[in-house]
Amino acid sequence: MSDIRSSYTDNQHFYGRHTPRELAETFGTPLYVYNEDVLRQRCRDLMGLSNHPGFGVNYSIKANANPVLLRMVREEGLVVDAMSPGELYMDQLAGFKPEQILYISNNNSRRELQNALGHNLLVSVDSLSQLDDLGAINKGGKVMVRFNPGIGAGHHAKVVTAGKETKFGVNPGQMDEVFALLKKHDMTLAGVNQHIGSLFMEAEGYLNAADVLLHLTEQLPKGALDTLEVIDFGGGFGIPYHKYEGQARLDMAELGSRLHALISAWAEKTGYAGRFLVEPGRYVAAECCVLLGSVYAVKNNGDKRYVGTNLGFNVLVRPAMYDSFHDVEIYGADTQARKNMVQTIVGNICESGDILAKERELPVICEGDVLGVLDAGAYGFTMGSNYNQRRRPAEVLIQSDGTAKLIRRRETLEDLARCLMD
C-alpha cells in the first residue's frame, strides 16, 4: 500500500529494503532512523570544499555523538571536537586519536581541563580567566583561543554565537592581555578559532567572518604565526528544512570555491603552513535521519485539530526550544483520498509547549498512522531527555546494502534507576 506523504524519502530510497511502517513495527517508536549513504555523502560534500593541503573538516559531535556514526565520519577523513569528558569518551570509542580531536571548551572546571590535557589534546579556551586557569596546569604547553569576530548569524537568537549578545569568545581588543597570560605561563598559542552561529544558508556571512579571523591572525605579535598550528573558522552550515517547499540548498560549490581561494591566497601571502578547519555539525548529521513516531489520538479543541503522538519534546526538543521547523511525512494506508487541513502535531509530555508542528496544512492525519520527522539527525537524540521519566528511543541504521541495524537499544525502565543509591 502506498503512503500518504512520502515522496521525499521515496525518491531517496531512504529506508533501503524496508518501509517505515515495517521499521516502526519491528523496533517500536519513537525511533531514530539513520541512512549511511546520506551521512557519508554529506561528509564528502564538506571534504570537497577545498583541496588546499592544510584544509580539513572538524565535525562538532554535539550534533550527534553515536559512536557508530562517528566511525563512519572518521572513515571519511573528518576530525572531531569534544566539549566535555563524555564527548571525548565517545570520540575515543569511535577510534579517533588525540591528534584528531580538538577540545573546544567554555566555562570548564580545572578538573575537566586537566582531563583533556591528560589525553594529549589541544584545548581551546574562550575567556581570559580560562586561559589563566589552563596556564596554571599547563605551563610550557600549547593552547587554542576562541575569539569573537563580532559577526553573528543564525535562525534564532539562541543559536547566534558571536557578536555582542553572546557568552562566547575573547574580544580581539584583549589581544595584549592574551599574550601577557601566555608569557606568564610560558604557553604557546597553537590555534585560533571562532563560531558565528548556526544554520546559515548563504556563503557571504561565513566568508566575511573567516576573513575577519584571518585579518586578526595577521595582527598577532611577531613570531606567533610561526607556531600557529590550527585556524578554525567554525561552523553553522545550514541545510534546507523546508523540503516539501523546495527550499534551496546552501551552494557548496560557491562556498568551496570562494573559501579555497581565500585560504590559498592568505597562506601564500603569509607563509602559513598549518591547518585550516571548518566546523560543521548540523550539515554532517541532520539529513541522514528521520524520526519515526506513532499517532495515538486525534481531537478538536474548538476549531483547532490536534494530532497526538509519542514525539514529545523529550525526544526532539528543537521545535519547542528554537521554534524550529521540521517537515513531516505521513505513512499510512492510502485507502481513500485524504484532504488537506490545518493540524497541530503534539507530543505526550505534560507541557503546553510540547508542540512538534504548529498549524501545518497537511493531509488529514489519522490514529494508527506513522509520522516521519525529516532532518532529525542533528541535535535530536543528543538533546533528548527523560522528562516525565520517558525512556530515550532506539536508533537504527539503514546500511549501504539497504538492511537495518540496531545501533542503540531503547532504554528500559531499569535504565531510569541505574544511578540511584539505596
Neighbours of 254 (CB within 10 A): 13
Please, which residues bridge with residue 127 across strands?
Answer: none
Q: How far apart are CA 311 and CA 328, in angstroms?
A: 12
Question: Which entry of 43, 350, 366, 419 is annotated as an active-site residue?
Answer: 350
> C-alpha 319: how far from its chain's center?
15
Please, which residues bridge with residue 395 across strands?
Answer: 32, 408
> Which residues 6+ apart lie within 8 Å of 359 measured at CB?
304, 342, 343, 344
CA distances from 365 to 298, 312, 329, 375, 378 (A): 8, 17, 10, 20, 26
> C-alpha 262: how far from its chain's center?
25
Cα R_g (the chain), whole angstroms? 23
**Is the four-CA dihedral 83, 167, 255, 257 of positive or negative sign?**
negative
The answer to whether residues 145 and 170 touch, using CB atoms and an 8 Å cutoff, is yes
Neighbours of 364 (CB within 10 A): 18
Please, which residues bridge with residue 370 across strands?
Answer: 294, 331
Q: How far apart are CA 80 and CA 103, in angstroms?
A: 9
Please, which residues bridge with residue 188 across strands?
Answer: 142
Is 350 one of the catalytic residues?
A: yes
Do you know the residue count of the chain?
Answer: 422
The answer to whether residues 370 and 20 touch, using CB atoms and an 8 Å cutoff, is yes
> C-alpha 7: how far from its chain's center?
25
Determine the number of helices (DSSP H) and then strands (DSSP E) in the chain. Answer: 14, 19
Closest CA to 394 of 317, 285, 286, 291: 291
The answer to whether residues 394 and 31 touch, using CB atoms and an 8 Å cutoff, is yes
Q: Exposure pattern of 266-290 as b/e (b: 16+ CB <10 Å)?
A: bbeeeebebbbbbbbbbbbbbbbbb
Q: How far apart are CA 64 and CA 14, in angstroms?
A: 19
Positions marked active-site? 350
